[in-house]
Amino acid sequence: MAKQNPINTDQDKLNLFPLGKENYKLLIIGLAIIILGFILMIGGGSDDPNVFNEEIFSFRRITLAPIIVLFGFLFEIYAIMKKPKA
């Protein structure tokens, strides 16, 4: 008897990846949110070590940026856990 070869379809090729195409898009969006949060944290230092700059304790650096980074990580968890559409 001849060996039967399984039929390769596009659906079989899609199953090679553990996540769907939408999941990867959401992961990239989450990474961009995290990067934005870290960008908001930078700055506020002084060029002269003898001068103290109060701007380092601004609302943007102490409160807003960490909340955005935390939201980005939560978004990443959502992107991983979301079931891909079949």
**Percentage of the chain lying above the pLDDT 90 cut:** 53
pLDDT computed for residue 13 by the predictor = 56
Tens digits of residue pLDDT in 47-70: 788 888 888 889 999 999 999 999
What pTM does this model have?
Answer: 0.75
CA distance linking residue 15 with residue 33, whole number of Å: 28
Confidence tier at 2 by pLDDT (50, 70, 90):
low
Residue 68 placed within a domain: yes
Confidence at residue 18, expressed as pLDDT on a 0 to 100 scale? 84
Q: Is residue 10 part of a domain?
A: no
- Determine contact, residues 35/75, Cβ cutoff 8 Å: no
| 49 located within any domain | yes
| Structural domain boundaries, residue 38 | 19-81
- 20: exposed, middle or buried (Cβ count in 10 Å: 0-12, 13-18, 19+): middle
In a domain, 43, yes or no: yes
Domain count for the chain: 1
Residue 6 lies in a domain: no
Q: State the pLDDT at residue 43.
A: 82
Asked if 56 contacts 41 with a C-beta cutoff of 8 angstroms, the reply is no
